[in-house]
Structure 1
Amino acid sequence: MRRSYWIAYNGFNLGRRSRRFVVEAEDRRREIASLTAYLLVLDGCRRISTSALSLASEDNVTIALVFKDRIAWFTGMLQRKHVELILTQYSTSRAKEIASCIREAFNHNLYAFFSRLNLPFEAEGGLGEVRVNALKLLSRYLRVDLSLIESVIQYLSYFIEAECLDAVVRAGLTPHIGFINKRSLTRDFLLVFEPSTVWRCLVEIGSDILSSIDLGSYEGRRLLLKYLRSIVERSVEDTDGRRMPLFKHIKATAKGLASYLMNPAGDFIPFKEAVY
């Protein structure tokens, strides 16, 4: 089964040898068979060879580059066969309904997250206000400065956003048309999955490690990603009783949206984590 690879090193190069990607960082070298990967998320990449891009295109591997304030991406997957779906995504009369479903899933997953911590939380106000209030509550719970919480969340969210991006593209959707974030469907998906992935990661890391982490250090970043990776690969049950790893829930939500856009009689039910 294919998987994603998250790579964080300072100033590494991505090349190609036969059907393998070659990661070269200082005195380290790693090879990744292209047919074992669906996504490479690269933080600190200095150079990507044209042969590596060609291999990604040939074997349908998405490449996402992490920058300080955004991610950039490359995919060789052609979407010409999905033109009707993309046009429907652009012109759907159900945009408000989809936005409402995403907002409801975000609020629900925040509630599920805080319920596990035995913390009462009411999602009142607009999305921005709800998220800010939730961050403040998380900061108080962890006893970690809010600015540090926000910085760590921003960094880790790029990797979940990359997973969302790949899922969206493979479902035949365009990431450039959202319903809450009008120019970014991946940001819409990130809203749904952030509490169950990134926020949970902070709780599992704990205040001691968080307070001492150096985000400017790639060693510190790799430690954060190790925790996040274990969470994304962990099986989680949704409110419909489906139990599977979170990265599969991301793919299922993307496929569900694509199906909903093409089938007016269907329903769009984004991921909602089960509450016990």
Structure 2
Amino acid sequence: MKSVLVTGGTGLLGRQVIPRLLAEGATVRAIARRPGPQRPGLTWIQGDLHAPETMPRAMEGADTVLHLATQPLKASADLDLAQRLLQSLPASDVRHLVYMSITGLERMQRAPYYREKLEIERLFGASGVPLTVQRSTQFHEFIAQLLQRLTVGPLALVPTGVTLQPVAVQAVAQALVQRTLGDPAGHAQELAGPDTLTLEHLARSWRGRRGGLLRLPLPVPLFRAWQEQAAVGHRAEVVGESWASWLTTTTRERAKAVLT
């Protein structure tokens, strides 16, 4: 039976991964400032990942680490977390390190966050601990949150030249669990959703009849990094439901919540 330490267990992906690991018979330890729901086989380690004592304490008894924690809005935060993790590995029993990463990093180096993620992959690869790197394209939920942030009054600002291939978090979680419980695979097959769509198309379908779109070049590192289909999984395995299917389900669930 594998014992897996999960960082970022209360995040979008972590909430999908933990129950799947438990269903496969693994025991799970998860670090969180605010622990999530209790489940048989799950131990919450309350602590701050940036605190020096948290990681060594959390690794006790774990043979696998699944590193999901990320803080994209805070400069160098992910690199700091990765270095703290690496510092704790020599004194642990960890024999497999699994890292959740992002499709197209080599093509998206205009953004500091993506440069940092690629550096973390390099550091983990040089650690001497058997490694699996699982990359995927952006989750449907992330795209929706992004479009919400780009909405100003009745208008949605749509950066030009952006094409994405959003993927279902559930499908990535299922694949990630199999990678975590399997043998180290180095760089695993990347994952992507079934449709390659412009950000304009994504915005129109997400907004429906709610206001208009304003297309313009936004000089933001993220959007510059996504130019020329850099974020698309050109050789990725296609998994999960489409953006249109996810959007239909999400809209229906929201309507149901309003009625109940």
Place the TM-score, normalised by the shorter chain, in its bin. Answer: under 0.3
Given the two structures, how large is their TM-score scaled by the length of structure 2?
0.27
